[in-house]
Structure 1
């Protein structure tokens, strides 16, 4: 049974929006790309579990396992919170949907697949906590750009372009989405370094450690919101910033993101050094599965760059920013290789 009007076709499925769990067969999905991204993320979670378990056995420390759990718990909290607060986007229908057709399984698994690998790759450098967090934010933000541009084109999710919280747009993507993932990943990484590594190494009491793990999502959201303030001072697209006594300046908001993201990249370049450990091929697997999978989908769906109507593509959006995606593919691949130089035994 279909409801009459909603910007998202997933929210038009009345029966699904009344069910906590909803299953769709492969034939009911919009196209094969829905299965492809789902398979990529599930593979990433499996690889993350294997890697974290291996690290625990090798080092005797639960730090990697705590990091993996932290990624999952934070991701679940931030996504569910967004569905009932900003409510400016909706996911398409995937094979497994939760929370009244709002939460696809692959999104629930996205953070442990994506953020765990991003964090552990930069962790190899043994940077100071602040430098590490900023570099994780840069690397994750660069890689996320690839996904963020493809999703709206293929209707994996849809943005409400009339909602002021999504302004300004960079082609198919709100700049706020870029800046959110960048800043909140920095916040998560900084807090995770303290809890999962520093406190574990100093053998903090277990009640204190478990309590910190439990409130890590809340701490991340609070700290990430603080990091977001300079952007919001100019974007003014959500309360309480929309009440500030000056005019909205989206160009300045964009400049804030551009400068901070560029500074993070510069910090990584100027602090780069050869990691001490040997090449970790298991840790490299997911980033390359992710990059190759997305590159293939961009090529397979290249016709969308020409199927443009006055309102955008056939799904009502502009296509993603292909030059930015190409640069992000090159940059991400370069960072993965730089972070895993050839082992001495392989030379």
Structure 2
């Protein structure tokens, strides 16, 4: 579909090493050994494998424990993807070309959809990242103790840490290319637009978690059973409302920052700072709460271990990218690729690792009335008295 090759996208594609006009149709397969560099298939395998395992876990958890939360989360994140991404790829086809120009271009990978615009791993990364962040927060018991809004903020914060490890590295390794002349991408935070750092890394997963918890998670914990049509309708609503939340949550920056990149950047950073302070305080307090009796907390072993796999793979990818990173001049490697912020990435690694380790070490605290909150296959149950009922850890069935 060469008629959809806008000048901006064609230029970005050329920088990445492929031709927009020659990109395949609805779906195209390539030899992984013939991609731009070896990191692209490694990225694909890591993300797609994790997403598939998360989907299998979600299905098994619904069948064996009657808990559809993970499945709704997985498909809700995918629904959000298909609401948000296609208009960004084809602004002319959606009638928004006068307002939104091409923001970025993905490189071509082993499996691509929509004429080289949508790699398979991008479809997979939305539900995978959402599952990692949501389940890590869920394992820490934050939704039950601190409520829906604070729990969603913590999901956004944890997602931000995992996502920025990936986001700050991508442009240097030619996984995608940002349009530096698009005002929507301004201001830039090294190689990444600050709106991406805040909105797509933190606020959209916060919005998604809020919707999933409100429409499904809290009802499941209360023992509600949903029919198939109810789950489908709620998943669609979650995808749509999470998309709306992505528009609403950054409104202070988008409204009051109009006409000034500096003001917009300050407000974006302020929103992220507020969310981060709340999340850090809550995550630490929840982790450090004293254990009561012999209670055990809910654990998703798949998420715990795959989060460590993800962090290990990206640590290796970052290590291999460091020589070019340190040889960079004026923010670009000797090959002309933009570099991310290493120190910010290190901070994200620290947060992500600490959060995962906390799920192994979390201690269950007493509730305000002296009872304890106990995890069960359907959520959190209450027990009164000094001795808690021992509940088996929830692992991949």
| TM-score > 0.5 by shorter chain | yes
- 1:206-217 paired onto structure 2 within 5 Å: 207-217=229-239
Asked if 1:7 is matched to 2:12, the reply is yes
**Long gaps (5+) in structure 2:** 92-99, 364-389
Q: Give the CA deviation at 1:52.
A: 1.6
CA distance in 2, matches of 1:307, 1:65: 44
CA distance in 2, matches of 1:7, 1:247: 23
Contact 1:68/1:116 (8 A) holds in 2: yes
Partner of 1:226: 248
Asked if 1:107 is matched to 2:114, the reply is no
Larger radius of gyration: 2
Partner of 2:38: 32
Partner of 2:72: 66
Contact 1:56/1:65 (8 A) holds in 2: yes
CA distance in 2, matches of 1:103, 1:260: 30
CA distance in 1, matches of 2:305, 2:130: 14
**Long gaps (5+) in structure 1:** 237-241
For residues 163-194 of structure 1, what are the alpha-carbon distances to aligned partners after superposition, in whole Å with 9 as ceiling and x for unaligned? 11111111111110011121111110000112
RMSD, matched Cα = 2.8
Contact 2:48/2:124 (8 A) holds in 1: yes
CA distance in 2, matches of 1:13, 1:297: 27
Partner of 1:116: 131
Partner of 2:23: 16
Partner of 1:141: 160
1:262 maps to which of 277, 280, 287: 277
CA distance in 1, matches of 2:137, 2:180: 35
Partner of 1:157: 176
Partner of 2:185: 166
CA distance in 2, matches of 1:186, 1:199: 19
The 3 A distance-change label for structure 1 pair 42 and 295 is same
CA distance in 2, matches of 1:149, 1:135: 21
Answer with 261-270 or 197-206: which moved more: 197-206
1:42 maps to which of 28, 45, 48: 48
For residues 74-106 of structure 1, what are the alpha-carbon distances to aligned partners after superposition, in whole Å with 9 as ceiling and x for unaligned? 223322233234421110010111011100000
Contact 1:43/1:286 (8 A) holds in 2: no
Contact 1:279/1:342 (8 A) holds in 2: no
CA distance in 2, matches of 1:311, 1:141: 23
Answer with 79-88 or 332-341: which moved more: 79-88
Partner of 2:377: none
Partner of 1:202: 224
SS at match of 2:169: helix
- Structure with a larger share of its residues in helix: 1
Asked if 1:288 is matched to 2:308, the reply is yes
Q: Give the CA deviation at 1:311.
A: 6.7
The 3 A distance-change label for structure 1 pair 169 and 209 is same
CA distance in 1, matches of 2:298, 2:239: 32
The 3 A distance-change label for structure 1 pair 295 and 307 is same
Contact 2:168/2:192 (8 A) holds in 1: yes
How many residues of Structure 1 are paired with residues of Structure 2 in the alignment? 336
- 1:302-317 paired onto structure 2 within 5 Å: 302-310=322-330, 312-314=332-334, 316-317=336-337
Partner of 2:367: none
